[in-house]
């Protein structure tokens, strides 16, 4: 199975998000899904309930270990600073994301957190997998929010 296959699974998670920015994540190792996540800070009243964090938490529970070496995290939108830090702490081997996040993306857009020379773990990064589809999902969400005058609530 290739990156597009797993990104489609992450997109399915994002499409299931209700009243939140639609972001999905899937953590895979050796062709097996270890954890999935969908954005949910509002739903869970938890500022850390980003899709990436949800997937990492599920994988840690499933494996019984917060370290997830050899894994790949697929996420529909470029991770923020918090999520990039969690990816490093979990020892995720590879990050694959779809769309860039020009305002809060901390991998290539506003910061390059994963490239910090002080970190003792390196994460391989691939971007742009199904980028147009991932970006459209978020753009459609914000377009709909603006249409009802609620753009600043998220």
Catalytic residues: 52
Nearest-angstrom CA–CA distance, 81 and 60: 20
- Locate 40 and state its tokens: 């949910």
User: In angstroms, how far is the first alpha carbon of the chain from the final one?
Assistant: 35
DSSP secondary structure letter of residue 113: G
Question: Could you give phi then psi for residue 33, rounded to 5 degrees?
Answer: -75, 120
H and E: helices and strands count for the chain:
5, 5
């Amino acid at each position: 199975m290739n990156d597009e296959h797993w990104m489609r699974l992450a997109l399915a998670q994002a499409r299931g998000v209700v009243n939140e920015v639609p972001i999905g994540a899937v953590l895979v190792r050796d062709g097996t899904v270890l954890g999935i996540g969908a954005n949910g800070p509002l739903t869970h009243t938890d500022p850390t309930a980003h899709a990436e964090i949800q997937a990492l938490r599920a994988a840690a529970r499933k494996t019984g270990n917060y370290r997830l070496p050899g894994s790949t995290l697929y996420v529909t939108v470029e991770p923020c600073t918090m999520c990039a830090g969690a990816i490093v702490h979990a020892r995720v081997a590879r990050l694959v994301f779809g769309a860039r996040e020009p305002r809060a993306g901390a991998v290539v857009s506003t910061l390059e957190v994963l490239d910090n020379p002080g970190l003792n773990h390196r994460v391989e990064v691939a971007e742009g997998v199904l980028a147009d589809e991932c970006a459209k999902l978020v753009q459609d969400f914000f377009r709909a929010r603006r249409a009802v005058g609620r753009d600043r609530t998220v």
